[in-house]
Structure formats: structure tokens, C-alpha cells
Amino acid sequence: TVTYLADYRAPEFLIEKTHLTFKLHEGYTDVNSQLTIVRNPHSTHADHLVLHGEQLELLSLAVDEHPLGAGDYQITPQNMTVHNVPEHFILQCKTRIYPEKNTALEGLYRSSGMYCTQCEAEGFRKITYYLDRPDVMSEFETVIIAEEGAFSTMLSNGNCLSDTVYAGKRIVHWHDPFKKPSYLFALVAGNLVCLEDHFSTQSGRQVLLQIYTEAKDSDKCHFAMRSLKKAMCWDEQTYGREYDLDRFMIVAVDDFNMGAMENKGLNIFNTSCVLAHPASTTDAAFQRVERVIGHEYFHNWSGNRITCRDWFQLSLKEGLTVYRDSEFSADTNSRAVKRIEDANVIRSVQFVEDAGPMAHPVRPDSYIEISNFYTVTIYEKGAEVVRMLANILGPEQYRRATDLYFSRFDGQAVTCDDFVQCMEAVSGKDLRQFCLWYSQAGTPQLHISDSYDAARQQYSLTVRQHTPATPGQTEKQALHIPLKIALYGSKGVLALVIDGQNKGTETVLDICQDQQTIIFEQVAENPVPSLLRGFSAPVKIFYAYQLAQLQQLILLDSDGFCRWDAMQSLMRIVLCNAIDGKDNHAEQIMLVDTLKQLLADHASMDVALLACMLDLPSEQYLASLYDKANPTAISQARTQLQQQLAIQLQPELLGCYQTLQDKIQGLSAPAMAARSLRNRALAYLLHINDARYRNLAQLQFAQANNMTDQFAALRALVHTEHAGSTAQEALQAFYQQWQHETLVVNMWFQVQVTRPWGNVLQAVHKLLNHAAFDARNPNKLRAVIAAFTNQNFASFHDRSGKAYQFLADQIADIDQRNPQMAARLLTPLTHWHQFIDEHAILMRKALESLSQCELSKDVYEVVSKSLMN
């Protein structure tokens, strides 16, 4: 069944107070709920109450202390209807659930002995009967009862009112003073240790900060704690947002479907997003921890104090919070690199989603299973939409608008429109056309052409916009697209004059029509346009750059994103020529020459930016440039170019590697940047069949004192076909050293299944039978199956189609236990339409075989939408 935004109705009943008692027993848990319910004064006059509830064993039910009999209520697999209820009453309900058997990791479940919850979006209904929708906000009290001595830690949201022992039972009582929807409820019980610290807020309140983990991970929480304090400070300074409870808790769990969850006062994290230690964690993982800690913390205001009216508004909290965490990262690390990373995700993942069967707007109109809509469109494109608003308003007005949003809607469940209205109210701008970004799916394309009139000293840019059709949306309207630009002349950046007005050296063109022309005056020479500076909108740009123009931008543009983007364009031209079998001589010379200059001059450059500029466009991105892509040709062209660049840039790469040697100690930004450039250089060099470079990697592997360098060396060895026994020995040594660190073992899995040579599917099968593999653990599934199908383009698209069928078979199996994970793993098969028939047919066949199985709602939605037409 499909849920539609257009069908939204306010709830018939509200739940003023929620009192829950959890009795934890080995094998089962009894949940007693006492709900104070009132009829919604703003709604119609239904006299029966319909609650959500799934997979619950009802033990008893009473209204105002009167036990209900069989005729008083009705139960279906999804709901319970209670007939003839009064205006105002207390519903008491006892249910039994089985956390030990919960392999879907939704609701209350056990992860290595520890009880924990994941309720967003609709998991609470697997705990007890409830109005499990975000516009029903309630004050929660939770009592947890367990055998005395069974658990050191028993947590729920808010403040702890009491912790007592009575008749051999430990009873812990929690109260959350802030009203919240059920999806923010959390409970944890286990034997955990805790790192504690304090934060004093800008108004001088003391907050207790706690990070709970299993004892073996107690040494890996310090970075997360530092990140948390940094995030709390940043949100006070940047948004004026202060934390509101006396206590903020984070719990790390091994088995978790997503990254983390912002439950009020009790965030639950995947261990991969909170644990970090220099010996066992890469720089990229450190940055991820910092970002996710920030993200979940920022949700306390953008998500919890102000939440979503319904799940169609998911981007209201996720888009805003991703924008906030992205700015937090940009402020703490390299802003240019962060912008490049974000743009890269949009281009190589979100644009691909837009081009596929699951394309949807930032605010979808319908869904079958909401879990399938925790997507890059809702999150990352949603964040780009907020970023565009922030840029349209400017920093001062944007801050006033968010202040207004937080005060106007505090304690409420609201919509994306409510957010935009705050932006309009403060700025006085008409944002009606801009709002199409929320409702219209698909990637806008900007086709840009220019002309120069030397006699008039005029330069004109003509911009045509077009958004291709997406499933269910054939007619697209023109969007309001902020296009930030600059013009470069032979001596550098030019002053911009439009309609006699001086615009400085950089300006934002408001592209609002299907086609419009902008004329720049007093332009003394034919300039090079620097387009979409800072990736000012999530759009595709088409402009026919000449090679020399790209080179000029790569070497001289002051905008880091545009430098990187120009390099990507140059690489793309070379790669596409190779894929299309066209002559490529001049282009290759230009590319090598440009890279030579950059590498030789690395001392004067932003090293982190230079490292990004060495990366070739991903195979997925290259495929998206074609109507029907040939995956084999794409992988081959890319591997060949890597080899050629390695050979031709050999002295420069080696030079970089050696001179940066003494800059790589510690966790400072320059050290991380130096490591990232060196390790890219090393990876290139290993493309050359030369024992010197293999020895270099072997030495780095053996001597590294941090995971970034150790793992980069391992990767370089395992990923080269020539390394033979050296790579095998390194793999073995790595496992020996790290077998007791699950997160590192996951990297060990991942590096093997992403190997770009040989029969990898065979290796995957072997690893699935490895003692350290566990098909019930999502991180393991991601490390083996998702890494293989998403990050090993060549092997996944093997001509035999065996990898396609392998994925379908795995999903059929995983779906029995964990539908959310199964649906997520399916993504690579949904893009069949991107590829030449030879592949598309085999991918469809795998999807069809899956459609013959008994499927969850989650997988059914993705499979059926993928097979339409």
C-alpha cells in the first residue's frame, strides 16, 4: 500500500503522557504502557482509536482501569482499533516482545547481549501499541526493571529520577521533560563502561556528557568526546542553540542499520561512527566521527525540539542538519576539500539516484516504505537546498531566519513550507519559485554558451535550463538556480559590470527562466568563465571549455571547487575519448603537463586540495555521462589512464612522496593533508610494475604508526596485480595484528573485495565463509557485499552477470532477517537502465529472480519500481 502526502490528516487523538515500564527477561520483554489520551480538539469526532502496532503479543488492555474484552477492540497485523473511547482517558496496555529474535534491528533488539532501540521512522510500533507518527508529541516516563546485577547500565531519555533495588530487581526510572514523538524514544541496557566529561553552556549551565561502550572500546571514545564539546560550542556560536537537558548520553552499538540516531538526550551510534583511536582509525574515519557526532547533536534543535509533521517532511530535519554538520566540518577542517567531497557525493550518487527508478523530490509525494527514503536526495540534496537558501539570504539574514524558525516552532511538528516561510518573513524575498526545489525531482541541467563582442567590450552568457523527466513527473518547471560565477582574463580575475552596476569580482546570477542572457560590460578581452563557483547549486553544467581554458582554471582559479572541477573535466575528456575510441593525444599531453606543474609546485599549494585533484572521476560518474554505458570500456579506460599517469608522472609522484615524509606525524590538518597526498602518490606508483615501489609500500606498511598509512600501503599492495606474495603476506600480517578489532577487520574485508583485478567474486564467497564474517551484522554486510557491489565496478559488472545474480541471491536471504539492509544493498542493481543491453538484460534478470521471492515491503518497493517499464 502506498502512503500519499496529499492524504495527510491531523491525528484524531493526542497522547499527553506516555508512561512505559519495561520488564527485561532472558528471552522476552514485557512492556506495560499507560497512555493519557485526549481527543484532538482540531480534528473530527471519531469515537474509535486506531493505534499502530506490529509483531506484538497483547497480554491485556484497559480503558480507565476497566479491562477490555474481545468485542471492545480489534487487531490486524498493523493496527489495533479500540471502539467507543471517551474524550479523555487512560489506556493501559501490556504487550510481550522478543528482542532476542529481532534481527531487523528495528524496535527493541539485542546487540551482543546489550538491549538497544532504533525507532525512527516507524520502529516504536514494534515495542507497544501507539500513535506512532511524528506529529503526536508526548511527555515520556520510562521505568526499566531487570534482575539485580544483570546490567551495569540501564538508560532512557532525559533525566534519571531514581535507581533502586527491590526484591532482587533493579528498577531505574527516567523522565524526559520535553515532549517528543515516539521515533525519538530510546532504551539501553547492558554491561557498559562510560567516559564522562562536562560542558558548561553559554548561559552557564553544567551538562554531564557520557559516552558508553563495551569495556574493550573504552580507549576509543576520547576523540568523540572532544568532537561533542566542539559541536556544542559551534552550535552556540553559529546558531545560538544551547543544549537543554542536564545530561547528554551517547551509546555505541555494534549492530546498527544506519550511522547513528538522535534520540532525545540518548543518542545511539553505530560503533563505526563514534569509536576512534590513531592506531586503528584512518583520518577519513576520524573526520566521519566528528561529522556524525556533530550531526546527531545538532538534531537536538533541528529535529527534536522542532520535528517533522509527517515523514514527507523528513528533509526538514535531515537537510537542515546535514547542512549544519557540513558547515561544522568546513569550519574545523579544509573548507575547499569539504565542498569538493559534498559536490562529489551529489554528482556521483545523488545525480545517479535522480536518473533512476527511485528518483524522488526532496519532499516526496508518496512512498510504500519510508525506510527507503533515507536517501542522498533527502539528506544531501536537501542540505544543498538549505545551503542555497542560506546563500540567497546572506549570513546575517539567514541567522535571523533560523532564530525565527527555532522560536516560532519550538515544541512543534512542522513542514518544509514552515521553514521557507521564516526565510521569506526575514528577507522579504519571494521564494515561491525557489520552493520547486522541494517538490520537483530530477537534476537540472544548465547549458551555457557565450560570446564576446570586442568592439562593444561586451561579454554575454546565455543560460538555458532543463530538467529531464523522472518517474511520475514528466512536466518540469524552471527553477530558481543561484549560479555563482567569475570571469578570468589573461592577467587574472576581472571586475564584473552588469547593467552599469559594479558587482566586484564574483557574483551570483539568479537563473529563473528557461533561457536568459546576461551581458557583462567593459570587458577588455575574451574571458574564461569560472562557473558554479563553490558548487552554488546541485545542477549539471554544460559548457564547451577548450583545453587551455581548463588548464588556466586548474592552475589559477581562486575557487577550490572550480579548480578541482576543471581538473575533473579535463580528466573526463581524456577518459571519454578513450572510452569512445577517439584520438586523445593532445588531451593527454595537456593533462600530464598540468598535473606535472601542480605536483612539482606542491609546496605552494593547498596539499589537501591537490590530493583531491589527483583522483580520476569515478566509474559510476563516468557511466552517468552516457545514455547506455559500457562498464568494461569504462573500467579499462580508467585503469589504463592510471597506469599512463603513473609512468609519465613517476619522478613528480616519487618526489612528492619523499618530500612530504617529514610532515606526516600526528593528527593536525597539515599532517592529514600530507598523508592523503603521499598515499595517492603511492597508489599511483604501484600501478607501475617495479619492485622499488612495492618495497616502498611494504616498508610503509611495516613502519606506519597510524592506520591511515598502514592501510593505504596495504591497499596499494593488495590492489596491484604484481604484488603477489608480498600482498598476501601483508594481508595476513594485518589480520594477525588486528583480528580483535572488529572495525579494522571490516577494513580488511573491504580492501579484498574492492581489488581491481582477478576473480573477486570467488574471493567474496570465501570471505562470506570466514570465521570473522557475520551475516547478521550490518557493518559486515557493508564491508563485504556493499563494498563489492558499489566500489568494485569492474567485478560487479563482470560480463557473465554472475555478480548481479550473486547480489540478488544475497538480498533474498538477507531480506528474511533485515529488510532495511536488504533494500539498501539493492541499489546497484536498480541502475540497470544506465548500461548497454548486454548488461541491462542480465541486471534485470537478477531483479526478476528476486521479484519471484516472498519479499518485505522494503525490498518489494525497490524491486517493483526498478522493473517498471
- Given the complex with ligand ARG, which of 369 and 565 has the nearer CB atom? 369
Q: Residue holding cell 562510560?
A: 194
The C-alpha atoms of residue 5 and residue 416 are separated, in whole angstroms, by 13
The interface region with ligand ARG, picked from 75-83, 256-264, 789-797, 851-859 by CB under 6 A, is 256-264
Peptide bond before residue 121 is cis, with ω within 30 degrees of 0: yes
861 scored as a contact of ligand ARG (CB under 6 A): no
Q: DSSP code of 835? A: B
Please provide residue 95's backbone torsions phi and psi, each rounded to the nearest 5 degrees.
-130, 155
**Residue in 576, 566, 575, 571 with CA at minimum distance from that of residue 627:** 576
x/- binding map, residues 53-92, to ligand ARG, per CB under 6 A?
----------------------------------------
Catalytic residues: 296
The residue range among 8-16, 253-261, 497-505, 708-716 that interacts with ligand ARG, by the rule CB under 6 A, is 253-261
Q: How far is the CB of 281 from ligand ARG (least distance, A)?
A: 20
The binder of ligand ARG chosen from 141, 262, 741, 858 (CB under 6 A): 262
Instruction: Pick what 568 binds: ligand ARG, Zn ion, none; C-beta below 5 to 8 Å, kind-dependent.
Output: none
Q: Report helix, strand or coil for 628.
A: coil
Question: Is 348 a residue that touches ligand ARG (CB under 6 A)?
Answer: no
Q: Quick one: which of 114, 154, 211, 260 contacts ligand ARG (CB under 6 A)?
A: 260
Q: Is 753 in the site for ligand ARG (CB under 6 A)?
A: no
* 855 touches ligand ARG (CB under 6 A): no
With binding defined as CB under 6 A, does residue 261 bind ligand ARG? yes
Q: Which is nearer to ligand ARG, 136 or 745 (CB)?
A: 136
**Total interface residues for ligand ARG by CB under 6 A:** 12
State how far the Cα of 246 lies from the Cα of 268, in Å rounded to an integer: 18
Q: Interface with ligand ARG by CB under 6 A: which range of 20-28, 254-262, 430-438, 741-749?
A: 254-262
Closest approach of Cβ 259 to ligand ARG, in Å?
Answer: 6
In 3D space, the residue among 559, 669, 612, 613 whose CA is nearest the CA of residue 332 turns out to be 669
Distance of closest approach, residue 258 Cβ to ligand ARG, in angstroms: 4
Nine cell digits for residue 112: 551482543
CA 601 to chain centre: 35
685 binds, among ligand ARG, Zn ion, none (CB under 5 to 8 A by kind): none
- Comparing CB distances to Zn ion, the nearer of 93 and 119 is 119
Of 313 and 371, which CB lies nearer to ligand ARG in the complex structure?
371
Smallest distance, ligand ARG to C-beta of residue 818, A: 11
Complex with Zn ion: residue 61 or 224, whichever CB lies closer:
224
Contact map string, positions 314 to 343, toward Zn ion, x by CB under 5 A: ----x--x----------------------
Could you say which of 121, 146, 562, 575 contacts ligand ARG (CB under 6 A)? Answer: 121
Mark residues 176-215: x for contact with ligand ARG by CB under 6 A, - for none. Answer: ----------------------------------------
Query: Which of Zn ion, ligand ARG, none does residue 374 bind (CB under 5 to 8 Å by kind)?
Result: ligand ARG
Q: How far apart are the first and last CA of the chain?
A: 20
Q: Is-contact 663 674, C-beta < 8 A?
A: yes
Residue 829 touches ligand ARG, criterion: CB under 6 A? no
Task: Specify the 3-state DSSP secondary structure of 43.
Answer: coil
Residue nearest to ligand ARG according to CB distances in the complex: 374
CB 292, min distance to Zn ion, A: 9
Q: Which does 117 bind (CB under 5 to 8 A by kind): ligand ARG, Zn ion, none?
A: none
Q: Residue 184 Cβ, how far from Zn ion at the closest point, in Å?
A: 12
3-state class of 702 per DSSP?
Answer: helix
User: Least distance to ligand ARG from the beta carbon of 352, Å?
Assistant: 20
Distances (CA, A) of 441 to 374, 467, 515: 15, 9, 20
**Site residues (CB under 6 A) for ligand ARG, limited to 351-410:** 371, 374
**Residues touching Zn ion, count (CB under 5 A):** 2
**Rounded CA separation 450/461 (Å):** 4
Q: For Zn ion, give the closer residue by CB, 318 or 815.
A: 318
Under a CB-based contact definition with an 8 Å cutoff, are residues 631 and 839 in contact? yes
528 binds ligand ARG (CB under 6 A): no
Q: What DSSP string describes 237-285?
A: HHH-----SSEEEEEEES--SSSEE--TTEEEEEGGGT---TTT--HHH
In this chain, which of 18, 104, 120, 568 binds ligand ARG, going by CB under 6 A? 120
Looking at the DSSP bridge assignments, the partners of residue 130 are 52
* Residue 424 to residues 199, 305, 511, 750, Cα–Cα distance (Å): 35, 22, 19, 47
C-alpha 498/C-alpha 520 separation (Å) is 5
Which pairing describes strands 260-261 and 515-520: parallel, antiparallel, or unpaired?
A: unpaired
Which residues, numbered 293-322, are part of the site for ligand ARG (CB under 6 A)? 295-296, 318
C-alpha cell read off for 640: 589504463
Closest-CA residue to 850 (of 869, 528, 834, 819): 819
Verify binding: residue 826, ligand ARG, rule CB under 6 A: no
Judged by beta carbon distances under 5 to 8 A according to partner kind, the member of ligand ARG, Zn ion, none in contact with residue 341 is: none
**Using CB under 5 A as the criterion, what x/- string covers residues 460-489 for binding Zn ion?**
------------------------------
Contacts (Cβ under 8 Å, ≥6 apart) of 747? 282, 711, 783
Q: Are strands 266-270 and 260-261 parallel, antiparallel or unpaired?
A: antiparallel
Cβ closest to Zn ion, residue 318 vs residue 327? 318
**Cα dihedral sign for 632, 634, 635, 637?**
positive
Distance CA 730, CA 713 (A): 9
With contacts defined by CB under 6 A, name the span among 149-157, 200-208, 255-263, 744-752 that binds ligand ARG: 255-263
**Could you tell me the CA-to-CA distances from 376 to 315, 358, 565, 696 in Å, in that order?**
10, 11, 21, 38
Least distance from ligand ARG to the Cβ atom of residue 89, Å: 31
Distance CA 523, CA 485 (A): 15
Residue 192 near residue 214, CB atoms below 8 Å? yes
56 Cβ contact partners less than 8 Å away, ≥ 6 residues apart: 95, 96, 97, 126, 128, 129
Answer yes or no: are the C-beta atoms of 374 and 258 closer than 8 Å: yes
Whose Cβ is closer to Zn ion: residue 290's or residue 318's?
A: 318
Task: Tell the smallest beta-carbon distance from residue 262 to ligand ARG (Å).
Answer: 5
Helices of type H across 454-559: 547-556
CB closer to ligand ARG, 199 vs 379 = 379
Q: How far is the CB of 456 from ligand ARG (least distance, A)?
A: 53
- Site residues, Zn ion (CB under 5 A): 318, 321
- Site residues, ligand ARG (CB under 6 A): 120-121, 258, 260-262, 295-296, 318, 371, 374, 820
